[in-house]
Amino acid sequence: MTGPLKRPMMEKSPQILNRRRQKRSWVTIFGSVAGVAILGLTGFRGLPTPAQHWVSHSGCKSQDSPYGSFPQENDPFHFLPCTDASRPPPLDDPTPQQTWAALFDPNPSHWSWGSNSRGIYLCGYLDLPLDYHNASDTRIVRIAVTKFQVAGLPLKNDSDITPTSYKSKRTLIIEPGGPGGSGTSYLWDTAEEMTKRFSDGQLDALGWDPRGVNVSLPSAACYPQDAHRDRWSLLALRYREEAPRAQLEMMDAMNNATFFACQQRLGDFGRFVSTAVVARDLDEIRKALGEEEVTGYFVSYGTGIGQTYVNMFPDRAGRLILDGTEYVRDHRLLGGFGWTSLDNATDAWHDGFLGECINAGPEACALAQPISGQDGPVTLEQLEKRMTQLLSSLQTRPQSAYTESGGPSLITYSALVENILYPAMYRPANWPSIAQLLYDLEAGNATLAANQLDLSWSSHSSHPTYPHTPSSSELELLVICSDSYDAPIPDGLTWWDELWANMTAQSWMAGNSRFFAVFPCRHYNTYWDAPSEVYRGDLNNTLKTPVLLIASPYDPATPLRNGRRLLGEMGSNARLIVHHGYGHSSRRDPSDCTDRVVKAYIKDGVLPHEQETDCYANRRPYVDSAGDESV
Ligand SMILES: *[C@@H]1O[C@H](CO)[C@@H](O)[C@H](O)[C@H]1NC(C)=O
Ligand SMILES: *[C@@H]1O[C@H](CO)[C@@H](O)[C@H](O)[C@H]1NC(C)=O
Ligand SMILES: *[C@@H]1O[C@H](CO)[C@@H](O)[C@H](O)[C@H]1NC(C)=O
Ligand SMILES: *[C@@H]1O[C@H](CO)[C@@H](O)[C@H](O)[C@H]1NC(C)=O
Ligand SMILES: *[C@@H]1O[C@H](CO)[C@@H](O)[C@H](O)[C@H]1NC(C)=O
Ligand SMILES: *[C@@H]1O[C@H](CO)[C@@H](O)[C@H](O)[C@H]1NC(C)=O
Ligand SMILES: *[C@@H]1O[C@H](CO)[C@@H](O)[C@H](O)[C@H]1NC(C)=O
Ligand SMILES: *[C@@H]1O[C@H](CO)[C@@H](O)[C@H](O)[C@H]1NC(C)=O
């Protein structure tokens, strides 16, 4: 697929995931290791099975801190206090544990402590089987894990504590979705907020990069560098409204080329990334934590991992929140990841972005200002008409633009919808600035729009160690396509062309973007045999603990309809909060009511009696202070 495209079901956009980069770059020191990540794939065959036993690293110079030495004995995660260097060792490292232990920096002032608590960030990894169903396949995946331990670390001289006594009894495992979202990045961005929101700061939080993602190894990057992906994505990023049928051929040929490259670079890895396999990894994380059940907060596509997990391991279902709920059964259908998630991005645009703008008035929303030649207050009808005109004029001819950082630039219809408008539906806090951007654009000033588009590119190109670390963008496609691998695929492009037409007709806002995420599946079976496992069972197994679902009527990626369908199947094994707010998942437009219910559930195990609970957002978009725009 194309570089700047959003990962559709992800909780946050890539540029925002990267916000923390400067503070916490895995790659700064290990830039040169990136080459090994690719080489590592050659050495990726025939590696030793995950070491089940602790290998002493007494051969290494063992350094001590007031908190003792790390990693501690018998720690399955090999946790070190995180520093910029804590990136899991390459797969072809013959002595990864020694390499890792040598990264321990004994100076506590170099460690990452919580911002206003004694909590500490711990970095580790877990070696897991590549194939859970073939004991003679000894290859592994190396999963990156980061934990925020709220109690901090015990001092070495504190004699009456055991090494694990600072671990909270249960750990809040968090998952940002995607497929392809980095759980370690998500943890850096949200851990302190999460533990406060769900447990008054009592529970540790843990995030992991799912197999193929970010710093987990191998990394599902099918281009040698992000610049190569960007180069070709320009051809592919053209919406149906702009490009005729020839575009379908172009994208299809590019998708084939991409999967061919994935197969060349990653071999059969594409067979081992399905959601069911990720659910098994999650169970290994649970075991490594030494906990009986999974406690967690899973968002967006993460809710698909959660639904799959609790139905594969019903006795391990703990207090699990699935926020921005999809119905994972849909992903078994060809294109189902796309066409079942289309409503309600256009409702969010019409009722939310535009409608609330009119309600808020010109003081709070630039687009509510009359344009020249118009009298009186702007009506919703007028505004919608103006926007339709703006969009269709861009379809006819893109707007030329210029930015100091990027030079010459174009505002195309496709780029505007893909990288600015659709993502804006995820984040109501951004609406005032997007409204200003559109108001300027309408008046012929493309500066703000061009600057915003620049951001969506620079998430690749401004990387500090660019060009060494290609991002794992192709993982998304491999997951989506393995989950639907056995759906019959019609010959030729006619069916796909119809699907594209249907999806864009149903939603001009989301239809193209979603189509691009499923169209590559036409080629999955050409390059990979059946996935090692997919989950095809029912979703109504009797769970040890019912799960708590959250869904919003205006969610542009995971509409309420899907949450209700899931609830219908799960029955008494789930409750649903209908979160009446804008944006994707309940974090984007918070509600005290939602927060009360989720805290009672995670902290005290209390569930609402009713199957559905209605909760309303605290704030009005545009008018009330929006809080942190990016989180
Ligand atoms: C199991 O793994 C072995 C060793 O890699 C391989 O030769 C064999 O084909 C695999 N079997 C299946 C069913 O994938
Ligand atoms: C333990 O060490 C810390 C500093 O390293 C010191 O402040 C504290 O007093 C010591 N506690 C005991 C019980 O020795
Ligand atoms: C990968 O993870 C590191 C550390 O968690 C983070 O700094 C970086 O932004 C992540 N990259 C992506 C593409 O998410
Ligand atoms: C797919 O790509 C491969 C590698 O470039 C090429 O050999 C093959 O002909 C392509 N197939 C189609 C259907 O385009
Ligand atoms: C266009 O908008 C930018 C950003 O708001 C502003 O700095 C610039 O002066 C505007 N240009 C013109 C010609 O109005
Ligand atoms: C497209 O929509 C039409 C009309 O609803 C339907 O008959 C057809 O099956 C759809 N085709 C695809 C590929 O979704
Ligand atoms: C799940 O639903 C199916 C029908 O879809 C039903 O046959 C089955 O008994 C249900 N299982 C449980 C555990 O309720
Ligand atoms: C969302 O989609 C559903 C199903 O298509 C529809 O009934 C509903 O009116 C839409 N809008 C909202 C705000 O719920």
- Once rounded to an integer, what is the mean pLDDT over residues 488-502? 96
Of residues 558 and 45, more confidence is placed in 558
Of the two residues 54 and 186, the one the predictor is more confident about is 186
Burial of 84 (0-12, 13-18, 19+ CB in 10 A): middle
Q: CA angle at residue 401 from 395 to 403, to 5 degrees?
A: 145
| 235 band by pLDDT with thresholds 50, 70 and 90 | confident
Q: If 0-12 CB within 10 Å is exposed, 13-18 middle and 19+ buried, where does residue 369 land?
A: middle
Helix (H/G/I), strand (E/B), else coil: 118:
coil
- Atom 5 (ligand 2) nearest CA: 66
pLDDT at position 457:
73
Mean local confidence (pLDDT), 296-302: 98
Ligand 6 midpoint to CA 499 (Å)? 7
pLDDT confidence tier of residue 625, bands split at 50, 70 and 90: low
Residue with tokens 């569930």: 607
Place of tokens 């990626």: 557
Position with higher pLDDT, 613 vs 20: 613
> Residue 16 is encoded by which pair of tokens?
């925002």
Atom of ligand 4 nearest to the CA of 253: 14
Q: What is the pLDDT of residue 42?
A: 30
What confidence tens digit (pLDDT) does each residue in 324-333 have?
A: 999 999 999 9
Ligand 8 proximity of 343 Cβ (cutoff 6 Å): yes
Examine the pLDDT at 33 and tell me if it is beyond 90: no
pLDDT of residue 225: 87
Dist CA 409 CA 428 (whole Å): 26
Between CA 314 and CA 308 the distance in angstroms is 10
List all residues 6 or more positions away from 447 whose beta carbon is below 8 Å from its beta carbon.
401, 402, 403, 440
Q: What is the mean pLDDT of residues 71-96?
A: 94
Average confidence (pLDDT) over 122-140: 98
- Mean pLDDT score, 212-239: 91
Which contiguous run of DSSP H or E holds residue 173? strand 171-175
Task: Considering only CA atoms, give the Rg of the chain.
Answer: 24
Ramachandran angles phi, psi of 11, nearest 5°: -70, -30
Tell me the three-class secondary structure of 130-154, residue by residue.
CCCCCCCCCCEEEEEEEEEECCCCC
Residues above pLDDT 70, as percent of the chain: 86
- Closest residue by CA, ligand 2 atom 4: 66
Task: Compute the distance between CA of residue 542 and CA of residue 571 in angstroms, rounded to an integer.
Answer: 10
pLDDT for the residue numbered 459: 56
Name the residue with the closest Cα to ligand 2, atom 1.
Answer: 157
Q: Are strands 177-178 and 9-10 parallel, antiparallel or unpaired?
A: antiparallel
Q: What is the DSSP string of 537-580?
A: S-S-PPPSS-EEEEEBTT-SSSBHHHHHHHHHHHGGGEEEEEEE
Q: Mean pLDDT of all residues in the chain?
A: 88
- Site of tokens 């070495």: 156
Q: Which atom of ligand 5 is nearest to the CA of 448?
A: 4
- 156 CA → ligand 2 middle, Å: 8
Residue 465 pLDDT more than 50?
A: no
Closest listed residue to residue 13, CA positions, set 294, 287, 419, 386: 419
Residues 124-151: what's their mean pLDDT? 98
Tens of pLDDT, residues 514-571:
999 999 999 999 999 999 999 999 999 999 999 999 999 999 999 999 999 999 999 9
pLDDT of amino acid 575 = 98
Spacing, Cα 378 to ligand 5 middle (Å): 23
Cross-strand bridge partners of residue 407: 403
Whether the predicted pLDDT of 6 surpasses 60: no
More confident residue, 61 or 388: 388
Q: Which residues pair with 524 in a beta bridge?
A: none
Burial of 397 (0-12, 13-18, 19+ CB in 10 A): exposed
Of 42-56, 105-119, 272-286, 422-436, the poorest mean pLDDT is in 42-56
pLDDT band at 434; cut points 50, 70, 90 = very high
Q: What is the mean pLDDT of residues 47-58?
A: 37
Residue nearest to atom 14 of ligand 5 (CA): 445
Q: Whose Cα sits closest to atom 13 in ligand 1? A: 134
Measured CA to CA, the distance from residue 517 to residue 337 in angstroms comes to 8
pLDDT tens sequence across 517-526: 999 999 999 9
**Pairing outcome for strands 204-208 and 140-149:** antiparallel
Average pLDDT over residues 296-301: 98
For residues 51-60, average pLDDT: 38
Q: Does residue 5 register a pLDDT over 60?
A: no
CA triple 280-283-285, angle to 5 deg: 115
Q: Evaluate if residue 20 carries a pLDDT over 80.
A: no
Q: What is the mean pLDDT of residues 176-197?
A: 96
Query: What 3 state SS string does 2-21 have?
Result: CCCCCCCEECCCHHHHHHHC
Residue ranges per domain, the chain?
A: 1-114+139-156, 218-271+335-345+388-483+487-529
